[in-house]
Chain A
Amino acid sequence: MSDLNKNYYEKITFRDALRLAIHDSMQEDEKIIVMGEDVAAYGGAYGATKDLLKLFGPKRIIDTPISEAAIVGASMGAALTGLRPIAELMYVDFFGMSMDQIANQLAKVRYMFGGQINAPMILRAQGGTGRSAGAQHSQSLETWIMHTPGLYLSIPYTPNDAYHLLRTALKINNPTIFIEHKLLYNTSGVLDKNNPDQIFGKAKIRKKGKDLSIISYSRMVNFAEKAAEELAKQKIDVEVVDLRTLNPLDRETIIESVKKTKRALVLSESCYTAGVPSEITSIIFEHCYTNLLKPVIRYTAEDTPAPVAPNLEENYIPTIEKIVEYSKKLCK
């Protein structure tokens, strides 16, 4: 890892920003432990915990068996009894085997027991398409989490957000699910440790604009930014809204943006039906229907599993060309 103790990094990868966030938090709080498959010796399937074993030792950086249900459940148990675990699932797809522990246990433990206890932990997981990883390793399952009261949900796009959202999640007492897109780990950007540039639950306007709001999160914000650049050349001024956390959700920023632009496209890599964009679209309709000049568009992945064939996978999710095309139609 590049120098650990700097406060400002001109260029750092998303992966290293996460590692720094875990590192800095662990130095401050000795109750934090990391557990998951291959997080220690291997350094994490995507390298987000590389070298942490050397720095913190096997007592705090713990390789687990391939037992997702117990990884989540045991992390919760540790969180109830004095520790603050960062658990890792190699893929969000493995919510599948741990969903009872996530949804019936972790999300509900505080409420069911009348607020007696908190489960302060983070569950990190990696999702999305882009590596021909197939139907069981390419999903975007944020909707499952967002539909489950009791869980906070962070889904950052930039290294700076990854760092600060993880740091924040380790300071609050609610369980947070932290979803990282597999194609973001190698992307890079600025990290300013002194500039959180956010409050947990606050969306970020990545680009101001007046003609159309593109509302998105995670890797799709990158597609929105690229489409906005192209559209600028064609005199369409797009506002790009990066939600960053889906619970808490910054409804105000969404509403304010659409009231201004009067047009909205909600962009996501999850499936179309009953997804996160469906929720955002409802909020826009509830609050902005008198302002809207055009129907709100949800642009998402198809309502099918993800195919392996690269030429199919590419078109299974939104493309920049089509974001441009739909945006132009919206602004006609």
Chain B
Amino acid sequence: MTQSNTLLPNLYTTMKRIRTFEERVGELFIKGETAGTMLHLSIGEELGPTCLGAAMQKQDTFTTHHRGHGIFIARGGDPKKMMAEIAGKKDGYCKGKGGSMHIADMKLGHLGANAIVGGGIPTVVGAGLSSKYLEEDKVSVAFFGDGAMQQGILYESMNMASLWKLPVVFCCINNQYGMGTKIDNAAGLKDFSKRAASFGLNTLHIDDLDIENAYVKSKEIIDKARKFEPGFIEVECYRFFGHARMDKSPYRSEEEEIKMRKSDPISYASNQMLKNKIMNEDEIKKINEKISIEMDEAMDFAINSPLNNQKEIFTDVYDESEPLPISVEERINKILS
């Protein structure tokens, strides 16, 4: 296959891996094996993370919001260690201490998923500052939802990135809702690119399913950021299911969901491949089967991973050369003995 013939299959594969991973997270929950219910799945939102993930370079860094599984898969995250983290187990990326909303892997440039809406955005400004100072050629990308578009910290961060000409990209995954609140009830001006442009950022608005085009366009923004022109990308999409695992979306109609789920980036990409004879149905089926096995294995890995030792409550608060915090039990026993 030529380069242009491998691009779409690669993007398709990543999207399909994200979706299958998220489906298995749902199964893990049903099996009662997840740590808690705060599982924010990105089913339906695969396009943005996939094309940006592909457009970034190996050394680049990023932060994500609470709905960050897909982004990390697109950046090379190991589904096994991710799933184990979601299960709150020892073999997870963060030893099961962070869970679904706090996956990170410094080796892969993942500076952290965040449970605070907007919380991870200024981190990329600092990462951009380091990159420029240390001459490392790293672009840093902040991924966040439309909800974070209404947090003040975003605008403080955009201004700094612009002022200091940092290699930074702000990427808003606009899935139309912040929990149960539709974007129309949250944003005074819905044209987010206008907001970013007013800070002097390059902007891109992706609002269709053509992922090849989205990839090319986002690569342009990221490449410009690498030359110290910070950028902003908004990807419009739809959250196919509830906000978190327990949410049945009572605030929106079934008709809306059915209609919006038809804008499925994955079926669109597979239809494109068939139409342009890049792949046939059998080949696509083979990819899907391989992914299915990979994600089943991730789920089994998580289920079989051991629980944490109780001592882990106290580790990692401070650098390992420092003493552990004294447990309450030890304090009380000392007083009472």
Chain A residues in the interface with B (C-beta under 8 A):
37-38, 41-42, 45, 63-67, 69-70, 93-94, 96-97, 131-137, 272, 294-295, 297-305, 307-312, 315-316, 318, 322, 326, 329-330
The interface stretch among B11-19, B176-184, B231-239 is B176-184
Cα A96 to Cα B118 with chains together (Å):
12
Which residue in B38, B185, B332 is a CB contact (below 8 Å) of A299?
Answer: B332
Known: A63-B181, A297-B336. A308 touches B116 (CB 8 A): no
Cβ of B274 < 8 Å from any Cβ of A? no
Cβ of B35 < 8 Å from any Cβ of A? yes
Cα A135 to Cα B97 with chains together (Å):
8
Cβ of B207 < 8 Å from any Cβ of A? no
Question: Which residues in A have their C-beta under 8 angstroms from that of B329?
Answer: 322
- A66 shortest CB reach to chain B, Å: 4
Cβ of B286 < 8 Å from any Cβ of A? no
Q: Are A310 and B35 in contact (CB-based, < 8 A)?
A: yes
Q: Are A303 and B325 in contact (CB-based, < 8 A)?
A: yes
Question: Which residues in A have their C-beta under 8 angstroms from that of B250?
Answer: 42
Q: Are B115 and A134 in contact (CB-based, < 8 A)?
A: yes
The interface stretch among B123-131, B295-303, B310-318 is B310-318
Question: Which residues in A have their C-beta under 8 angstroms from that of B313?
Answer: 302, 304, 307, 312, 315-316
- In chain B between 64 and 111, which residues have their CB closer than 8 angstroms to a CB of chain A? 88-89, 95-99, 101-102
- A220 shortest CB reach to chain B, Å: 13
Cβ of B200 < 8 Å from any Cβ of A? no
Q: Are B180 and A65 in contact (CB-based, < 8 A)?
A: no
Cα A147 to Cα B102 with chains together (Å):
30
Q: Are B150 and A309 in contact (CB-based, < 8 A)?
A: no
Q: Are A37 and B35 in contact (CB-based, < 8 A)?
A: no
Known: A37-B178, A312-B312. A136 touches B325 (CB 8 A): no
* Chain B binding surface, main DSSP class: loop
Cα A42 to Cα B242 with chains together (Å):
12
Question: Which residues in B have their C-beta under 8 angstroms from that of A304?
Answer: 313-314, 317, 325
Question: Which residues in B have their C-beta under 8 angstroms from that of A295?
Answer: 335-336
Q: Are B179 and A42 in contact (CB-based, < 8 A)?
A: yes
Q: Are B38 and A132 in contact (CB-based, < 8 A)?
A: yes
- B65 shortest CB reach to chain A, Å: 11
| Closest B residue to A265 using CB positions | B332
- B104 shortest CB reach to chain A, Å: 12
- B299 shortest CB reach to chain A, Å: 18
Cα A239 to Cα B152 with chains together (Å):
48
Chain B residues in the interface with A (C-beta under 8 A):
35-38, 88-89, 95-99, 101-102, 114-119, 147-148, 150-153, 178-181, 185-187, 250-251, 307-308, 310, 312-314, 317, 325-329, 331-332, 335-336
Cα A27 to Cα B96 with chains together (Å):
47
Question: Which residues in B have their C-beta under 8 angstroms from that of A69?
Answer: 152
Known: A96-B116, A307-B96. A133 touches B38 (CB 8 A): yes
Which residue in A45, A67, A300 is a CB contact (below 8 Å) of B328?
Answer: A300
Cα A94 to Cα B117 with chains together (Å):
10
Cα A315 to Cα B307 with chains together (Å):
14
- B308 shortest CB reach to chain A, Å: 5
7 extra A-B contacts, CB within 8 A, seeds A38-B181, A42-B179: A37-B181, A65-B150, A94-B116, A294-B336, A300-B328, A308-B98, A309-B89
Which residue in A299, A307, A329 is a CB contact (below 8 Å) of B97?
Answer: A307
Q: Are B326 and A66 in contact (CB-based, < 8 A)?
A: no
| Closest A residue to B327 using CB positions | A302
Q: Are B97 and A66 in contact (CB-based, < 8 A)?
A: no
Q: Are B185 and A63 in contact (CB-based, < 8 A)?
A: yes
Q: Are A42 and B307 in contact (CB-based, < 8 A)?
A: no
Cα A326 to Cα B335 with chains together (Å):
11
Which residue in B36, B179, B310, B325 is a CB contact (below 8 Å) of A132?
Answer: B36
Q: Are B115 and A136 in contact (CB-based, < 8 A)?
A: yes
- B21 shortest CB reach to chain A, Å: 19
Known: A69-B152, A304-B314. A41 touches B88 (CB 8 A): no
Cα A312 to Cα B102 with chains together (Å):
16
Q: Identify 17 residue pairs between A and B in the complex whose beta-carbon atoms are under 8 Å apart, listed by A's number.
A: A41-B185, A41-B251, A42-B179, A65-B186, A67-B152, A93-B116, A97-B116, A132-B88, A132-B99, A297-B335, A303-B328, A307-B96, A307-B97, A309-B88, A309-B97, A312-B313, A322-B329
Question: Which residues in A have their C-beta under 8 angstroms from that of B99?
Answer: 132, 134, 308-309
Question: Which residues in B have their C-beta under 8 angstroms from that of A294?
Answer: 336
Question: Which residues in B have their C-beta under 8 angstroms from that of A42?
Answer: 179-181, 250-251
Question: Which residues in B have their C-beta under 8 angstroms from that of A272?
Answer: 328, 331
| Closest B residue to A136 using CB positions | B115
Question: Which residues in A have their C-beta under 8 angstroms from that of B148?
Answer: 66
Question: Which residues in A have their C-beta under 8 angstroms from that of B152?
Answer: 67, 69-70
Cα A262 to Cα B102 with chains together (Å):
45
Question: Which residues in B have their C-beta under 8 angstroms from that of A37?
Answer: 178-179, 181
Question: Which residues in B have their C-beta under 8 angstroms from that of A322?
Answer: 329
Q: Are A132 and B35 in contact (CB-based, < 8 A)?
A: yes
Cα A299 to Cα B332 with chains together (Å):
8
| Closest B residue to A132 using CB positions | B36
Q: Are A326 and B314 in contact (CB-based, < 8 A)?
A: no
| Closest A residue to B185 using CB positions | A63
Question: Which residues in B have their C-beta under 8 angstroms from that of A318?
Answer: 328
Which residue in A67, A305, A310, A326 is a CB contact (below 8 Å) of B317?
Answer: A305
Question: Which residues in B have their C-beta under 8 angstroms from that of A315?
Answer: 310, 313
